[in-house]
Structure 1
Amino acid sequence: MKFIDILRDHLHEFNQRYERQITPSMRQAIQAMLSCRTNTQRISQWACQSCTHTADFPLSCGHRSCPQCQHNTTTDWLAKQQAKLLPVEYYMVTFTLPFELRVIAKHQPESMYKAMFSVAASVLKDFAHNSKQLGGDIGFTGVLHTHNRRRDFHPHIHFIIPAGSFNKDKKQWRKSKGKYLFNAFNLAKVWRARLMEHLTMQLDITLPASIPKKWVVDCQHVGKGLPALKYLSRYLYRGVLPDNNIISDIDGQVSFEYKDSQSKTTKIRTLPAVKFLYQILQHVLPKGLRRVRDYGLLRGNCSKLRQQIQLMLAVAGAVFPLVAKVKRALATRTCPCCHQPMCFMGIHQNGLGNSRPTSLTITA
């Protein structure tokens, strides 16, 4: 069962039920997914290597919310992040937006998510500078998730942080020891104060009357960095719910499975089809909003400094993790006549066979 099939079958009822809640970004995502691999302006041209058979195929929509696209984008991101891995312990720090402020995130997602990123990043940088163990510049990668495992609206940002800092004055790398990075309760206090000040003073947003005094920030040791990166990459560019998690669509009721974070067991959730569609589409991000951001030593313009740090660690005897090279999935087609592999010839405009082909990477 595919999400796009459910969307196509129940689109009319969904539009009627959620007309006021559907944002322009949602409509763009819906249009892209419904045309994915079915009706595109450009098509890929293939030719059999053993016989004379040729065939044209529509391209993928490429939308980041589409569950059947963007595999290569995820692969590329993971490969770039793997190149930045350091032979140190890693931590995952998660900043969660409290329930009372989520209505603001729904109505002003771009402003709220940008504020969450900037405030949380400033908190981490300041804690690192004031830390007795670190006392320098750190690097970290933030990934925005807008849902929990049940796919409810639950905005939070995961930050992956290598436990070490660089002192620019001494040109020294300082490695954090033990299984402790920052105090989560102190992080939560500063996170609450700074975000509320940012929303009211800089964005002029009126906050709800009742806001909890205790916010949630989680800081946990995750060992090496690669498993954490792979965890974060699951939902980056391939939609909120993978198609293989959808179990059934029977009598207007859609069931999907998820892994419960508390019991670690697989559970099934069933919703009316139109509610299920909104449950997934409410997580479509505004166009142009970056879901992933690198800070400090992990920024793109710090590549030379990272290489120096990696060299310093190697000279000091650190053993770098052996990371298997991430391979891109190549598109393949099989000839329907002789069942032999077909060769990709290029991409041309739909209906304009004499157009000049272009060499683009496509998703099968």
Structure 2
Amino acid sequence: MSHGVDLADILREHGQPYLDTHALSVVQDKAWRAIIACRTQSLGGHIECCDRCGTLRYRYHSCRNRHCPQCQTRTKEAWLAARRRELLPVPYFHLVFTLPHALNRLAGVDARMLYKLLFGAVADMLNAFAANPRWLGGTPSFTLVLHTWKQDLGRHIHIHALVAGGALTTEGKWVSAKRGFLFPVKALSAVYRGKFMDALDAVRKAGSLRYDAARDDASWHTLTAALRRHDWVVYAKQPLGGPAQVLEYLGRYTHRVAISNERILGMDGNHVRFRMRDSANGNRKKVMRLEAGEFIGRFMQHMLPSGFKRIRHYGLLGPAHKTANL
């Protein structure tokens, strides 16, 4: 039994049997090689000198791959620093929009299309609710972050939305949200479902949907009817305070990968042990033990399509508004 194990160790130790039976995509292959090489002599290094004592230290280079658990801290800090000047001095709301698991297979076939539809549905819905005078009557300011995993590394596709508590009217007036309330969650859920399903139907009618269930009308009707009956989960968390709290909160979600090295406890023969929170039991902490190939397969399914942006800004944070209004 070993300790101090990280993801790269698992790929080195158990990767070949997985590669013998699984074909990697270009993105997966690139990430795999990067993670294994990260902070090793394979990537070379540089000498650092302490400003105070003059001590020299050699450091290996990082791979900077966005799926590498070792390379997110510096990227996250730079991103948060850039966001600091964009935050408004108002309360913020955190909403979570989840896709039904019946769509998980589609993510395995055409993740780019599915994630694009998800971003579009959530953004259109939040813009529409904010524009409605019943709620705010203006242009909102929000950031969306895509996550595709749950604690056991299974597929759980959802978007975290951080929304400023108010909107800017066409007259240039700021309208604040009601204290502790942004939009009605049940209404959000229904509109979210409708917008996503309408967009999915449109893609299918255009012949752009690469999915077995879309090939014949009967199978498609069965799937979509079930999805339209399903309650689409929208979760609203307690509103946040000022910019400092918002930045700290953002940092928890923006540059995460499916599993951090800190959660990995070790390898036990042909198995990997890692910490997780069990959402079905009040987020109780537990240790999960998976066969190494299963662990690797679960991690690899969360690789994002090449060039796909998993963090997106809308409304007043969008290119058309940010320079003029913030």
Evaluate the alpha carbon distance shift between residue 46 and residue 89 of structure 1 in structure 2; reply closer, same or farther with a 3 A threshold: closer
Aligned with residue 15 of structure 2, among 11, 17, 20: 11
Aligned with residue 80 of structure 1, among 79, 82, 98: 82
Identity across matched positions, percent: 31
Aligned equivalent of 2:261? 243
Q: Distance in 1 between matches of 2:169 and 2:19?
A: 55
8 A contact 1:91–1:221 mirrored in 2? yes
Aligned equivalent of 2:296? 277
Aligned equivalent of 1:295? 314
Aligned equivalent of 2:191? 190
* 2:286 pairs with 1:267: yes
Aligned AA for 2:35?
A: M
Aligned equivalent of 2:94? 92
Q: Distance in 1 between matches of 2:253 and 2:8?
A: 17
Structure 2, gaps ≥5 residues long: 215-219
Shift of 1:283: 0.8
Q: Secondary structure at the match of 1:69?
A: coil
Aligned with residue 126 of structure 1, among 111, 125, 128: 128
Task: Tell me the alpha carbon deviations over residues 135-185 of structure 1, each in whole angstroms, 9 at most, x when there is no partner.
Answer: 1110100000001222210011111001101112x2111111122211222
Please give the residue correspondences for 1:1-364 in structure 2 after superposition, counting only pairs within 5 Å: 1-17=5-21, 19-20=22-23, 22-40=24-42, 43-46=45-48, 57-168=59-170, 170-202=171-203, 204=207, 205=209, 206=214, 207=220, 209-210=222-223, 211-212=226-227, 213=229, 214-224=231-241, 226-227=244-245, 229-234=247-252, 236-261=254-279, 263-300=282-319, 302-307=321-326
8 A contact 2:129–2:135 mirrored in 1? no
Structure (1 or 2) with the larger CA radius of gyration: 1
Evaluate the alpha carbon distance shift between residue 306 and residue 48 of structure 1 in structure 2; reply closer, same or farther with a 3 A threshold: closer
Shift of 1:82: 2.8
Q: Distance in 1 between matches of 2:313 and 2:50?
A: 44
Evaluate the alpha carbon distance shift between residue 52 and residue 86 of structure 1 in structure 2; reply closer, same or farther with a 3 A threshold: closer
Q: Distance in 1 between matches of 2:54 and 2:177?
A: 63
Shift of 1:86: 2.1
Aligned AA for 2:222?
A: A
8 A contact 1:187–1:217 mirrored in 2? yes
Q: Which moved more, 1:114-123 or 1:256-265?
A: 256-265
Q: Distance in 1 between matches of 2:315 and 2:51?
A: 50
Q: Secondary structure at the match of 2:307?
A: coil
8 A contact 1:92–1:221 mirrored in 2? yes
Shift of 1:226: 4.7
Shift of 1:188: 1.7
Aligned AA for 2:315?
A: G
8 A contact 2:43–2:62 mirrored in 1? no
Evaluate the alpha carbon distance shift between residue 53 and residue 91 of structure 1 in structure 2; reply closer, same or farther with a 3 A threshold: closer
Q: Distance in 2 between matches of 1:101 and 1:28?
A: 26
Structure 1, gaps ≥5 residues long: 308-364
Q: Secondary structure at the match of 1:209?
A: helix
**Which structure has greater helix proportion?**
2
Q: Distance in 2 between matches of 1:152 and 1:51?
A: 48
Aligned equivalent of 2:217? none
Task: Tell me the alpha carbon deviations over residues 85-111 of structure 1, each in whole angstroms, 9 at most, x when there is no partner.
Answer: 223222122211111111111210111
Q: Secondary structure at the match of 2:238?
A: strand
TM-score, normalised to structure 2, is 0.84
- Count of aligned pairs between the two proteins: 304
Q: Secondary structure at the match of 1:137?
A: coil
Shift of 1:189: 1.6
Q: Distance in 2 between matches of 1:148 and 1:264?
A: 12
* CA root-mean-square deviation: 2.6
